[in-house]
Structure 1
């Protein structure tokens, strides 16, 4: 919250602006950046100076990595330690196996972020047409800004019309680089670290076989259940959505593209709703069924402990597994020869229910403040805000002040999650050594 307020103040400084900016619009932009959403009420390219755009980029970076990551690392670095309670909170947030591994994981996260964003910026720089941006310093800023925005799943762009800009819409190399960045950022740091350890394990085994030597302290590494489920869900959604959009939009929004360009644009359109927020087509021109698919993808979002939002791929997977278990008559959810804990299942369904309640309330309030707007446009906007996506059907700039404030609150709740807010508000009940009699309720 403090970072959002600080960003609001900085974005209202004369050095940040080319044009006047209201306090509500500054708050909206700052919230959108910190919550890595990407919804904008003013044009980032024309409204903000280089300083203002740099402020937005820093807010995106801080929001993408998470304030807990930064505060934990710098508390440890400058003070030489951290409280045990803080370490426990960070352990849960980072999904670390042991408290002692928290700061090792934090260092790995910062290192991975720096390497990926630097590599992404370099690739984006090389993909640019020097004739479009003659000044090499401007090309570097463009590359760094979009690398950070992509990896953090923010969706902010310094182009007047984003990636729909006429001179960039057919830059398929740029689109592929951005896809890789926001998919990587959306996987979640624990999953990325687990996968890296797994590949290191495979490399070690290969080297041991080639050199025909034994290693006494050799430790086997396997992909965790969390990694397997989220990876399978992520790539299944990407493949299925790409195929559907490719055929549904072939003669519609993809008509202006040719050959491989149609497939890449379909892939980009299928991947970006997973909280990235960039668009290379006009979403308002999508078929109605395609728009509904985009809303579903936005609601699902990215993986846990990632730079993305949504209810998360793990939550969606557990819902599917639960349906299958009920259909088979099983009392427990079993995945990869493991039983999922009841606590995890309860949290997953609480997250799904609370998300729909927040989005539903948001739709109700905005239809009250802006009754002339289409229900589909408003619903799309609310799903996008809650899942910190940043996609819109073109109504963001036309929202009334009341509706803007509603979207600001939804973006904040979507990033922090309603479940976390409720947990912080209500006192936890201590363990009790009794249970009430079980009672069945009629469901269907």
Structure 2
């Protein structure tokens, strides 16, 4: 009897414990959901408040109210984050735990020093009071929660190609809104002009309808260069990077997207690749900015902003300049050190991240070999060069050399007349490099002869290399198309490069890209002819090639185009940056598989 009662008591205890644990789980789930909701709304509130603070002029009377508003936003973001971390605690990597601890301590400190209680340490109090620390740490907390945004996007089952297209479209729309802020421009600009500028920046083109130097304030220029950086690397690259940093893992869909964007095959160590890409990008841009800074004349205003702006613009192959006349201004036109620095940045940004990573590996191998030699250890053997790297480097070098020589021959007695041989060579080299995708110019290109104009159209059409910040059909596409043509003429059925056979799928992709690019440029050109009947057709064709190749050179005076023509150029820039094949497959891709195959039929072609 006693035993039976004990069993009943134990059963009742376990039942109550189960009910309590179930209640605790429900409460924790409710707290997590409620905290997530608070976090989302407080984040949106913070973003709106931040945009108002940086983009609009405020009266002195309301500045204290804005500070209080930022305090409310920070407290809501901070405590909702803390509750989320407590009720959904999971095992994390040590550096993530340390980061969470740092954020918690800093958050408590900021709340304390921004309260009415007098701070204990005045020096620390001064550092942690005011709007700036509230903005910085609110932003850090929001960025640390980006992985949840990525999970929401993944749950929508959007194809990676379409996600790539939509991410660029979203950044363009946001950028156009930011450029409409009163603090971003010196005089009123239309939304179409803001949209055009945003598209040109995100698509790293450089075509402008308003003078970047005079139309935009310092804030406007910072927005433009930020859009260039995001457009060059891709918003999902940054999102994926921060998501991985703050969670220590990544979904398969994230890896697939980034694999396609970075043109890499290995998805296992993808985030190591992203880290190297970001590191190489920022280090190159910083070194480039330093070189530009120390070679500038004292006539340039705000040398630091100028150096950073042009270094990022050059590496991302954007072609934007803070000078009204671009690099053809008197301060830069004869500064050949800066021209060489910018040309080098353009080449590095245009050869593609896969090639940059191969160069990084080779440099690392050389340094390691030298160290091992001094240590009297056996020298390591470097692996064979990737075929893609060989094609990119060979085709890039060939295009630069041929472009420089032909530019010199076509222009030596026209736009280059009056220069020394050295000056002609540097200008020809810079023009050849810039025309392929960057769009900087050091001379008045309206003085170009027609052979130069049409040859530059060809260079703009070819563009940069795959996995780069540039546009065009890409050097590998042109090289494989050319090799396939010669191979077919010589009677070979298969295309062989570097002891490898190129797959028929790659050759078909090359053919499709070439056909689509020509068709889109032709349609854009026809649209411009209809919209601008009074302009020189050659100049409009040049404008079409420039927009599609995301180059930024203009003979048709882009700012003088009407609204319809500007919209056509916007579409050409967007399609050129995304890639016509990527855009169409993202929109029209079908998931249905075909389990049949028709008989092969040869057709009469010629």
Q: Which TM-score applies when normalising by structure 2?
A: 0.70
Q: Within the alignment, does 1:253 sit opposite 2:415 as a pair?
A: yes
- Of 328-337 and 295-304, more deviation after overlay is shown by 328-337
Partner of 2:363: 199
Matching residue within 225, 228, 232 for 1:57: 225
User: Are the aligned partners of 1:155 and 1:390 in contact in 2 as well (CA < 8 Å)?
Assistant: yes
Q: Distance in 1 between matches of 2:550 and 2:217?
A: 25
- Of 80-89 and 406-415, more deviation after overlay is shown by 80-89
Superposition CA RMSD, Å: 1.5
Greater Cα radius of gyration, structure 1 or 2: 2
Residues 385-436 of structure 1: per-residue CA shift (max 9 Å, x gap): 0110000114201111001001101111111111111111223355545421
Tell me, which stretches of 5 or more residues in structure 1 are unaligned?
Answer: none
Partner of 1:423: 585
Partner of 2:184: 16
Q: Distance in 2 between matches of 1:264 and 1:427?
A: 46
Give matches, 1:245-284, under 5 Å: 245-284=407-446
Structure 1 residue 112: deviation in Å? 0.3
Structure 1 residue 9: deviation in Å? 1.1
Q: Within the alignment, does 1:356 sit opposite 2:518 as a pair?
A: yes
Structure 1 residue 220: deviation in Å? 3.4
Q: Within the alignment, does 1:286 sit opposite 2:444 as a pair?
A: no
Q: Within the alignment, does 1:401 sit opposite 2:563 as a pair?
A: yes
Partner of 1:122: 290
Structure 1 residue 207: deviation in Å? 4.8
Residues 121-171 of structure 1: per-residue CA shift (max 9 Å, x gap): 0000011012x13x5xx0001000000000000000000100111232111
The secondary structure found in structure 1 opposite 2:435 is coil
Count of aligned pairs? 438
Matching residue within 198, 209, 214 for 1:30: 198
Partner of 1:171: 335
Give matches, 1:153-232, under 5 Å: 153-208=317-372, 211-214=375-378, 218=380, 220-232=382-394
Alignment CA distance shift 1:320-1:94 (3 Å)? same
Partner of 2:465: 303
Structure 1 residue 245: deviation in Å? 1.1
Structure 1 residue 278: deviation in Å? 0.1
Partner of 1:140: 304
User: Are the aligned partners of 1:37 and 1:154 in contact in 2 as well (CA < 8 Å)?
Assistant: yes
Q: Distance in 1 between matches of 2:342 and 2:376?
A: 42
User: Are the aligned partners of 1:11 and 1:17 in contact in 2 as well (CA < 8 Å)?
Assistant: yes
Q: Distance in 2 between matches of 1:17 and 1:207?
A: 53
Q: Distance in 2 between matches of 1:268 and 1:214?
A: 43
Residues 248-296 of structure 1: per-residue CA shift (max 9 Å, x gap): 2111111132231111001011111111110011222111011110000
Query: Greater RCO between the two (CA within 8 Å, min separation 6)?
Result: 1
Tell me, which stretches of 5 or more residues in structure 2 are unaligned?
Answer: 1-168
Partner of 1:93: 261
More helix by share: 2
Residues 349-383 of structure 1: per-residue CA shift (max 9 Å, x gap): 11111111111111111111111111111110011
Structure 1 residue 202: deviation in Å? 3.9
Structure 1 residue 77: deviation in Å? 2.1
User: Are the aligned partners of 2:285 and 2:312 in contact in 1 as well (CA < 8 Å)?
Assistant: yes
Partner of 1:337: 499
Q: Distance in 1 between matches of 2:235 and 2:220?
A: 21
User: Are the aligned partners of 2:540 and 2:556 in contact in 1 as well (CA < 8 Å)?
Assistant: no
Q: Distance in 2 between matches of 1:150 and 1:294?
A: 18
Q: Distance in 2 between matches of 1:104 and 1:418?
A: 29
Q: Distance in 1 between matches of 2:376 and 2:569?
A: 61
- Of 201-210 and 400-409, more deviation after overlay is shown by 201-210
Structure 1 residue 231: deviation in Å? 0.5
- Of 62-71 and 266-275, more deviation after overlay is shown by 62-71
The secondary structure found in structure 1 opposite 2:333 is coil
